[in-house]
A and B are shown apart, each in its own frame.
Chain A
Amino acid sequence: MMKQLPLDRLPELFRKISEKKTVIAPIQSAGQVNFGVWTEDSILRLDALKTVKSAKGAFFPQVEDIVRFRMEGKKIDIHPADVLTEEFVIFGVRGCDARSFELLDRVFLSDPVDPFYAARRQHGTVVTLACNEPEETCFCTNFGIDAADPAGDVTCWIAGDVIYFRANTEKGIAFTADLESAENESPVEELKKNITEILKKLPFGALNLTGFDGDHLMERFNDPRWSELARGCLGCGTCTFVCPTCQCYDVRDFDTGSDIQRYRCWDSCMFSDFTLMAHGTNRPTQTERFRQRFMHKLVYFPSNNEGLYSCVGCGRCLEKCPQSIHIINVIKALGVNKDA
């Protein structure tokens, strides 16, 4: 049973929700669209297919305080940071990002459970939006994601001037409760059909991922072509920081002068000081770091998670890599042909 709302009344809805909950949505600021807290002055950009940063920041922010130490005389007081207690809604999440939450759950909600992430997941309602116009960099279709009918607590479609809602979960039902029922669901069906047609035309829509699994781990790992693939890699963290599924973080201390703040922040396996240890680094060259990233996404993660790849095909890395080196290169270079 779908609900509906004229598109121009969306701000009204947001206003109403934001009385009680924070609304996070794709917002344009300084020329770029990213998920941000919606306010009356925000420029909402539901038409933007890809935010620069993925939606994962809503549950796993780039920087997050964990604990504070305070010196009182020569004694140390320890204050753990509070976990989130307020409700929020993240609106306009695309199918790929929605899948990324499931992947992150496998990391942060498996034992030991990450309390900060768990609290955010608990208090967050995910409202997804179907992709009316997928782009050439999209390849979500490879991972069983349907951009025409994304997951989430609520799924939305924008068809013409109307936005349609379908609640998928309890949270979703609560979210859509006050909305009026849809008179006619056929525009949504029409739209879904349309999208499905477009998805068939994606240039990277049907990759052959054969051979990327735990059984071929050593073959993939020892493939001589890694160095060739990584040669142009700058070692920046662009791919990891725009990626919805990268979940590595570093824990750091900051001395404020009056106390020490321990916080965690995203880390990138592309950085030379990633997992740096006392004796140095175990991945001394960029080739090894580069390999780590893709082995993790395409081999290690699926071998530990029932074949689930740690990639959702959002295509952000395709667009953003300064030197155009990305997962498609790897899949095509090291993929099926080798085993065929």
Chain B
Amino acid sequence: MQKIGVFVCWCGSNIAATVDVKAVAQALKNEAGVVFSTDYQYMCSENGQAMIRQAIKEHQLTGIVVCSCSPRMHEATFRKTAVSAGLNPYMVEIANIREQCSWIHKDIAEGTEKAIVLARAAVAKLHKNAPLTAGTSPVTKRALVIGGGIAGIQTALDVADAGFEVDIVEKSPTIGGRMAQLDKTFPTLDCSACILTPKMVEAAQHEKINIISYAELESLSGFVGNFTATIRKKARFIDEDKCSGCGVCTEKCPSRKGLDEFNMKLNKRGAVYIPFAQAIPNVAVIDAEQCLHFRTGKCGLCQKNCSAGAIDFEQKDQLIERKYGAIVVATGFKPIDASAFNEYAYNDSPDVVTSLEFERIMNAAGPTKGQLIRPSDLKHPHEIVVIQCVGSRCTEDKEKGKPYCSKICCMYTAKHAMLVREKYPDVKVHVFYIDARTPGKNFDEFYRRAVEQYDVDYIKGMVGKVAVEGDKLHVQGSDLLNGEQVHINADMVVLATAIEPDPTARSLGTMLTASMDTNDFFTEAHPKLRPVESPPAGIFLSGVAQGPKDIPETVAQAGAAAAKVIGLLCKNELTCNACVAQTNEAICNGCSQCEKVCPYGAITYEDKEIRSPEFRGIRRIATVNEAICQGCGACTVTCPSGAMDLKGFTNSQIMSEVDAICR
């Protein structure tokens, strides 16, 4: 039996004006278990708290009910008070007689009666309370960043600079990501490589950063502070420690059939290759599908020519298991497959290219060495049409498109138009657009510059059809402002294709139990207030994996994610939520229903020995990981036997409240 003290706060006149606080205190004296009941002007004041502390000691109270403002306001305060008087903080219940009583009712009799009922409900609940202790779990002071693009690099650098170890897992042979493929960046037109490569080098040289390239996350277990990741480092058939990146092998390789991924497959590369000059790690990789050694068992030219002896045809995939405290998802994006848009003749003509392909064509390090020439006949084009919103802003039932705005296309299109006009004033550039969306610092100015200074022909409307006519591309579109259909015989057509999350995102999301939206972007824990966190604790989001964004936004978010990671890793241990789910092992059926509704993957099953009147023997039992459980209670309702209960909000506590209220 509890010995309960009731403390009724006046809150000045906030409560006392519409609730007869003395009557409430008096009425509660008659409740079973209540051994002390009083009222005071400001319970939250130092004096009020002292009164509570004294009563706890004097009457040896086992729990207290404070009738005051909302628990959202002062529950923490009164819990601290209770702790300082030797009580467990969870032996405190608040009856909200201000926000949910005195402030909304005018009649004193009515307010008083309701306050008494609310206080009784709190007493009834308190009778069923039990002292709770929040568990703790240690924190592994290392972060895992998945994805080595600008988002991943930036997060890694920020975390590493704070003194924590970071592993970057990058699925391709080099870090750098999409930004490495870009020529210039809007709206400043500074060279992408010039600003990215120093960061790549910094990451590579940072003593706290370990880059695991050509690797993917294989599996993940554990929870915040205590993740165990298994990383599959794919065989690159090159000993990374020995390879000096001299490139001799790439020159000697007789195979020339591989498509150069870095150049958007616009040109061919050898079976052994280094993706690009500034690749990090600057180590070659062998494409086993193309390699003659693997295909025929012969060749081996690279091996013969490698002075470092780095070629290792016997290399196998390697599984690395490491522990991490935090995980950052920075898996980025890819442009959507434009081949679905045959009305734009993407499949029919090599001169219809996507913007990222165009980016490589314009890039000095690209397949054309920066020469603007048509892929089909290598001739200089004179008229270029850019089509915006290809695959963006489509209805969701359109298989080929995405319902969202890809956000970056308006700006990179303006950039492309401007770069072309700057370098080749003879080339006419038409841009078909639906809306020019340029909300960003110096963005609209940039776009206007393209129109005003560079005389880019912006046509409000969309292209309905591109037809190959001889060596020309006949572009038919609408000009909505002039109310006419326009026909342009272009030399090249550039499709500003939508971007989508990297295809690996979905399986990764499943592995991390991180929620995703229907477009496979990772969902943030709260869209406004926790934009760089995923709902499961310890998983953070960086870059386009969370939603379309440009480079400065990506870097900003990467930094924010890093700040959250640092905040986590600088703790030695984590205090868990005390109000967590708990299995009554004697009656758990092990039916697995609770596991299915847990949003955090906090429930697992173990075979345990059970000795209860109903059952003796080994049985499958649900186990809650208190470090992961956030205490939502979804599992408790799914459990038909009531074996799963939620500490602090148990079935019996809530039913006692119901009973008291309905009494």
Q: Which residues of A contact B (CB under 8 A)?
A: 71, 73-74, 255, 257-258, 272, 276, 280-281, 284
Contacts and interface: CB of A to CB of B under 8 A. Distances in A.
Contact of B613 (A71, A73, A74, A284): A284
Nearest to B616: A284
Contacts of A255: 659
Contact of A281 (B30, B613, B660): B613
A258 B32 contact: no
Contacts of B30: 73-74
Interface string B629-663: 00000000000000000000000000000011011
B613 A258 contact: no
B614 A258 contact: no
Contacts of A272: 613-614
B654 to A, nearest CB: 15
B32 A74 contact: yes
B113 to A, nearest CB: 16
Contacts of A276: 613
A257 B659 contact: yes
Interface string B492-527: 000000000000000000000000000000000000
A281 B662 CA distance: 36
B613 A257 contact: no
A292 B662 CA distance: 43
A280 B659 contact: no
A257 B662 contact: yes
Nearest to B30: A73
Contacts, number: 16
A272 B32 CA distance: 34
A255 to B, nearest CB: 7
Given A272-B614, A280-B613, A284-B613, A71 B659 contact: no
B663 A71 contact: no
Interface string B383-425: 0000000000000000000000000000000000000000000
A276 B30 CA distance: 34
Contacts of A281: 613
Given A73-B30, A257-B660, 4 more contacts: A74-B32, A280-B613, A281-B613, A284-B613
A73 B662 CA distance: 19
Given A272-B614, A280-B613, A284-B613, A71 B662 contact: no
Interface in B169-204: none
A304 to B, nearest CB: 29
B663 A257 contact: yes
A74 B659 CA distance: 19
16 contacts: A71-B32, A73-B30, A74-B30, A74-B32, A255-B659, A257-B659, A257-B660, A257-B662, A257-B663, A258-B663, A272-B613, A272-B614, A276-B613, A280-B613, A281-B613, A284-B613
A71 B32 CA distance: 9
Interface of B: 30, 32, 613-614, 659-660, 662-663
Contacts of B662: 257
Nearest to A279: B613
Contacts of B32: 71, 74
A73 B32 CA distance: 8
A255 B30 CA distance: 17
A281 B613 CA distance: 7
A238 B614 CA distance: 21
A71 B662 CA distance: 17
Contacts of A284: 613
A332 B32 CA distance: 58
Per CB-CB distance, the 6 closest pairs between chain A and chain B, nearest first, are A257-B663, A280-B613, A73-B30, A281-B613, A257-B659, A272-B614
Nearest to B614: A272
B374 to A, nearest CB: 81
Nearest to A272: B614
Nearest to B656: A255
Nearest to B34: A74
A240 B30 CA distance: 44
A254 to B, nearest CB: 12
Contacts of B614: 272
Contacts of B660: 257
B105 to A, nearest CB: 23
A256 to B, nearest CB: 9
Contacts of A73: 30
Contacts of B659: 255, 257
A284 B614 CA distance: 7
Contacts of B663: 257-258
Contacts of A258: 663
A284 B617 CA distance: 14
A226 B30 CA distance: 56
Contacts of A71: 32
Contacts of B613: 272, 276, 280-281, 284
A284 B613 CA distance: 7
A320 B152 CA distance: 70
A268 to B, nearest CB: 17
A334 to B, nearest CB: 28
A87 B660 CA distance: 40
Nearest to B661: A257
Nearest to A71: B32
A281 B612 CA distance: 10
A31 to B, nearest CB: 30
A270 B660 CA distance: 36
B23 to A, nearest CB: 16
A74 B32 CA distance: 7
B128 to A, nearest CB: 13
B663 to A, nearest CB: 4
A311 to B, nearest CB: 30
A234 to B, nearest CB: 15
A272 B612 CA distance: 12
B617 to A, nearest CB: 12
Contacts of A74: 30, 32
A280 B613 CA distance: 6
